Amino acid sequence: MEDLAHAVERLTEAGFRDDFRAERGGLRAVKAGRTFAPESLVVEEVVRLEGESDPDDEVVVFALRSASPETRGTYVVAYGTYVDPIDAEMMRRLSHASR
């Protein structure tokens, strides 16, 4: 079973080198210094992880790509009981993004 560190490492090696963070206006690509509307991003892969000893330890990793200029990165979010309201909104909006 893949854990969070291995999932992020695998995706980084596959070219998803930026880190996305939720902000009120959208998802910020930290290295690129740009904020994107979640709907404008392509979800390349979704990895859902659950803690081995605690089912409340739930995390989802999104591998995201912007169209122009191309930015590829990961967005890591705790979900379930511990989801932050801004992250919940971004995940909802990503679910409407093109796949």
Residue 52's pLDDT is what?
A: 66
State mean pLDDT over 24-29: 95
| Mean pLDDT across the chain | 89
State mean pLDDT over 65-82: 89
Report domain extents, the chain.
4-94
Q: Is the pLDDT of residue 73 over 90?
A: yes
Residue 97's pLDDT is what?
A: 62
Q: Which of 60, 58, 67 is CA-nearest to residue 90?
A: 60
Q: How confident is the model at residue 81 (pLDDT cuts 50, 70, 90)?
A: confident
pLDDT (tens digit per residue) in 27-60: 999 999 999 999 999 999 999 998 665 555 689 9
Taking the alpha carbons at both ends of the chain, their separation in whole angstroms is: 24
